[in-house]
Amino acid sequence: MIKLFRVDFRLLHGQIAFGWANMVGADCILLASDSLIRDEVRKSVVKLSKPTGVKLVIKSLNDSVEALNSGVTDKYKLMVIVETVKDAAYLAEKCECFKSLNIGNTPPIPNSETIGYAVRLTKDDKLLIENMKKKGLEVEVRHNSSDKKIVL
């Protein structure tokens, strides 16, 4: 069961490991990232942030789609974390299991608009979000698990 589907360009860090994982009761975290899967040093660093007692899985976007659609992840209380809105849109398009998306942290990039704390969206991001919403996905902005949810 998907407990949280989140965009956070930092992927796994203390806020995720202790705040969000505890709040949603996750027992497994799936990091779906094509860039992370190819970066052994970054993978090693990310693994240090894994909460005790929580399984950590790192997969490419395509392998994540395969795992999510196969049912192999159904036995977990799963958090799925991606780096970008584009990656979230890809997973949401390929998998029927997502009902909502939390956008928690995006990098500051040129020509992006700040939407809430630490969330900056480009014009392309906004179009992808609108498409996800049209397909029935609730999209919300919330940096910390204790923050008030802002539905877009």
| Three-class SS state of 88 | helix
Q: Where are the domains of the chain?
A: 2-147
Among 11, 13, 47, 17, CA closest to 32? 11
Comparing 17-21, 64-68, 123-127, the range with the smallest average pLDDT is 17-21
Confidence category of residue 144, pLDDT binned at 50, 70, 90: confident
CATH class of 2-147: alpha beta
- Judged on CB neighbours under 10 Å (0-12, 13-18, 19+), 115 is middle
Task: Decide if pLDDT at 16 tops 80.
Answer: no
Residues 6+ apart with CB under 8 A from 1: 74, 76, 77, 78
CA distance 48 to 73: 22
pLDDT in tens, 48-84: 888 889 999 999 999 999 999 999 999 999 999 999 9
